[in-house]
């Protein structure tokens, strides 16, 4: 998971409430669930669980935009439920799309595999790397 971002048809929703802050998570069970589904890849596991920098960033930038509907706990719960309901790696490997530089796939192959399961058009984003395009993230 990179993040869960509320969406509005007329404008981009981010930095909606700069006066509110993320509340550090202390519940060990919740921390373990979050770490397994939404690892903080910019730090080691110990620092990630202790500092919670990425979760804090994502919640303050995006999660606070839906705080009138979902509190912080619900925001992270929704993120984990979405992750559990849409296992992108499983969807891709089931459709013989395997990660790695030795393999090459078209955007249509990737999008079609995901749409067959989710019934929605995904939003794949690529970046140039090592002289070619590399899949960076997939928006659902």
2 catalytic? Reply is yes
Q: In whole angstroms, what is the distance from residue 72 CA to residue 63 CA?
A: 7
21, 35, 58, 137: the active-site residue: 58
Q: In whole angstroms, what is the distance from residue 60 CA to residue 18 CA?
A: 7
Q: Which of 137, 8, 123, 140 is nearest to 65 (CA)?
A: 8
8 catalytic? Reply is no
62 catalytic? Reply is yes
8, 21, 29, 62: the active-site residue: 62
The string over 36-63, giving b where at least 16 C-beta atoms fall within 10 Å of a residue's C-beta and e elsewhere, is: eebebeeeeeeebbeebebbbebbbbbb
List the beta bridge partners of residue 133: 128
2, 21, 45, 137: the active-site residue: 2
What is the set of active-site residues? 2, 58, 62
């Amino acid at each position: 998971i990179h993040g869960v971002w509320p969406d509005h048809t007329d404008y981009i929703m981010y930095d909606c409430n700069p006066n509110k802050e993320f509340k550090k998570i202390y519940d060990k069970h919740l921390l373990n669930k979050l770490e397994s589904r939404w690892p903080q890849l910019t730090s080691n596991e110990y620092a990630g669980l202790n500092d919670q920098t990425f979760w804090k960033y994502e919640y303050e930038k995006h999660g606070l935009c839906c705080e009138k509907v979902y509190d912080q706990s619900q925001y992270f719960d929704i993120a984990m439920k979405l992750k559990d309901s849409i296992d992108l790696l499983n969807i891709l490997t089931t459709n013989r799309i395997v990660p790695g530089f030795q393999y090459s796939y078209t955007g249509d192959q990737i999008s079609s595999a995901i749409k067959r399961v989710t019934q929605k058009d995904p939003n794949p984003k690529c970046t140039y790397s090592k002289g070619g395009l590399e899949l960076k993230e997939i928006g659902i």
